[in-house]
């Protein structure tokens, strides 16, 4: 019996690349199968449909990012160091796996309703929980944690979008210090 893990990994890699380049709607099962070098039927042995593949890629990628954010939180006792490391996590994902970052960014509106509420699987909840904890410890002033989360995520997401569309040049990590400073200034 053949081990399908290599084929599955290649499906994931090529689907992410195509979804990031063309969008999920603009990518067909035939496109993915062609990029992987398998028959269309082979994809259905691993995923029930293109939507199931998209959902799986999103939920797995989003959960991994959330876990990395929480790990950054645990690794640093000082709030400013936590924020710097969390910004670095986003920048590293963008610079090292642009296809996944782009896919998560562009597909969030389709899949966010399916994301569990737990912080270790949900980027928004992970960031929110860090801000709420900082308020509880009096590291930052008491404010609306949801609004702070939305604004902080925007501080990181917009420069990434500008980079994707060529308005900003170079790797995102070169802007990490400025992004972290902007988030810290936001905290008051």
Domains for the chain: give ranges and CATH numbers. Answer: 1-47 (1.10.10.60), 49-187 (1.10.357.10)
How far is residue 77 from each of residues 130, 137, 146, measured CA to CA in Å? 12, 11, 22
Q: How far is the C-alpha of 113 from the C-alpha of 118, rounded, in Å?
A: 13
Q: Is 1 a residue whose pLDDT tops 50?
A: no
Q: In the predicted model, what is the mean pLDDT of the chain?
A: 96
Q: What is the pLDDT of residues 97-133, one digit of tens each?
A: 999 999 999 999 999 999 999 999 999 999 999 999 9
2-39: buried (b, 16+ CB within 10 Å) or exposed (e) per residue?
eeeeebbeebbebbbbbbbeeebeebebebbbebbebe
| Cα-Cα end-to-end distance for the chain | 60
Query: Encoding tokens for residue 161?
Result: 């979008």
pLDDT of residue 137: 96
């Amino acid at each position: 019996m053949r081990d399908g893990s290599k084929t599955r990994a290649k499906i994931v890699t090529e689907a992410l690349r195509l979804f990031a380049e063309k969008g999920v709607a603009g990518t067909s099962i035939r496109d993915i199968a062609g990029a992987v070098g398998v028959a269309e039927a082979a994809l259905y042995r691993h995923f029930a449909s293109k939507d199931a593949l998209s959902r799986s890629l999103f939920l797995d990628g989003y959960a991994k990012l959330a876990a990395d954010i929480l790990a950054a939180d645990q690794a640093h006792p000082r709030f400013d160091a936590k924020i710097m490391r969390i910004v670095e996590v986003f920048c590293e994902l963008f610079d090292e796996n642009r296809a996944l970052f782009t896919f998560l960014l562009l597909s969030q509106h389709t899949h966010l309703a399916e994301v569990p509420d737990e912080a270790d699987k949900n980027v928004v909840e992970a960031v929110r929980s860090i801000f709420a904890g900082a308020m509880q410890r009096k590291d930052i002033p008491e404010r609306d944690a949801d609004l702070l989360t939305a604004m902080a995520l925007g501080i990181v997401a917009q420069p990434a979008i500008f980079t994707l569309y060529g308005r900003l040049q170079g790797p995102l990590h070169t802007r990490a210090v400025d992004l972290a400073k902007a988030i810290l200034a936001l905290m008051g």
